[in-house]
Structure 1
């Protein structure tokens, strides 16, 4: 094997983007309800913000947005009906395949605008996910969490938990979509093993503060930890509790490049949703 080919294969073996998703539902959550979290990892070449969105039609929602860079748009959100969704890139598919997809974008915004519950999303799964681009989603309402793996050619898989935990990183877990794991790299597998281990070893029931502590874990070094500072950085952390009753609580950490880290917490009660559309956490100059 010549040197050029060896270097090319080595580059192809490393996924280009990453995130870690985890959630819990039922008896494993303090006070019941659900918890949902995401660490967003990407190249530190752009800024992010948190915005309150009022669409022309549909429910209001608060979202974590990448404001520029190679993949701008919403990365996590929760609507006024207490339905939350976070995403992770399908990095084990080659970029040329992902870029060549003619499938629909915007499935996260559509879910937040139009759906009240995980059950409604499951009912409309074909309409939502068959035309969608390859991606991973984790959703939560007050009763359950839902994991969605979107592959190629209209294929997708669903996993639901009413009592327990779900975790995901950036490679396909369902056997029927395993063919989409065309690129290899250690980070996704290391992070999945680590988040599963922390949730298995942790003391239940889970509190939001536990998920916040987990998000900061640096057990596996700069490139493979849950909180990363190597080739990619953890640029944001999103944790939300959706209690069986009462207002959800959302905490977001923004670690925008060349800026001071910001952390904010919101009680998503009726007063919160009555305010005007706003940039809730602007990037600092």
Structure 2
């Protein structure tokens, strides 16, 4: 594995330290693959939620050595990559774990690469999962949504390197901000008596709504996913949290390149929407469409 230069190490250290103190509870994802997608292929969606005052932007990260990638960036408490798609068509989207998830032992800095490392180095879902099993990358507790043209998966990373993976080539599933796999559910926090649990209760409502949506049909289209993402229960604004963006990728099975649809609603800005191809994302044209 390459050594990181000094600047990158400083930036990564800052991100990791920030992650240990910020209250995080955000984002919803819908996934469908194979027989569950009209025409085949895969569909994957992320709604990005975060604390009021943030700005979500899109960035094209060009590389002369590794894979380039097109991603969502949040700007509150320092810029951070929250996932996107690389030039090989690999989708990697980050979702936060429940608030106050125990951090446990911190993985070695040289192996804590998460979104930037994965998008810059891997081409398929299988490559990401295989590299994880070989300890080629590690990260603090997080939920990762991974997809390519053949498969969708989610990876649940827990305390001290605990990991659970669910892969799917035919079917549909959702993820939000609770551990879903039985081996990880002990990490979900319990409601505390005498504490304002209003946001936690709303987020449970959001999770149940997303589950209801994905169970409402057996075959999904891009239009279905747009509608799901913009439902007012999952595209929401609470006192402590609000939705800033939708990011959808459709891998088509007919040999056509992936389609990407983005919706941004930053504070004090008009709604921005655009649909474009992967090549338009990689050329920078997509950024022009969203100005």
Once residues 235 and 149 of structure 1 are traced to their aligned partners in structure 2, the CA distance between those partners, rounded to angstroms, is 23
Once residues 144 and 23 of structure 1 are traced to their aligned partners in structure 2, the CA distance between those partners, rounded to angstroms, is 10
1:233 aligned partner: 242
2:251–2:257 contact (8 Å) kept in structure 1? yes
1:226 positional shift: 0.5
1:259 positional shift: 1.0
Once residues 168 and 24 of structure 2 are traced to their aligned partners in structure 1, the CA distance between those partners, rounded to angstroms, is 30
What runs of 5+ residues in structure 1 fail to find an aligned partner? 1-14, 219-224
Pick aligned residue for 1:211 from 225, 240, 243: 225
1:170 positional shift: 0.6
Matches within 5 A, 1:162-177: 162-177=169-184
1:280/1:65 CA distance change after superposition, 3 Å = same
Please state whether the residue corresponding to 1:201 is helix, strand or coil.
coil
2:4 aligned partner: none
Which segment is superposed worse, 121-130 or 225-234?
121-130
1:191/1:122 CA distance change after superposition, 3 Å = same
Matches within 5 A, 1:77-226: 77-94=84-101, 97-98=102-103, 102-103=106-107, 104=109, 105-127=112-134, 131-184=138-191, 185-202=200-217, 204-218=218-232, 225-226=233-234
What runs of 5+ residues in structure 2 fail to find an aligned partner? 1-22, 192-199
Normalized against structure 1, the TM-score is what? Answer: 0.82
1:278 positional shift: 8.2
1:189 positional shift: 2.5
1:20/1:48 CA distance change after superposition, 3 Å = same
Once residues 135 and 285 of structure 2 are traced to their aligned partners in structure 1, the CA distance between those partners, rounded to angstroms, is 28
1:208 positional shift: 0.8
1:45 positional shift: 0.7
1:39 aligned partner: 47
What is the RMSD computed on CA atoms of the aligned residues?
2.4
1:76 positional shift: 2.1
1:5 aligned partner: none
List, as ranges, runs of 4+ consecutive aligned residues in structure 1 with deviation greater than 6 Å. Answer: 281-284
Normalized against structure 2, the TM-score is what? Answer: 0.80
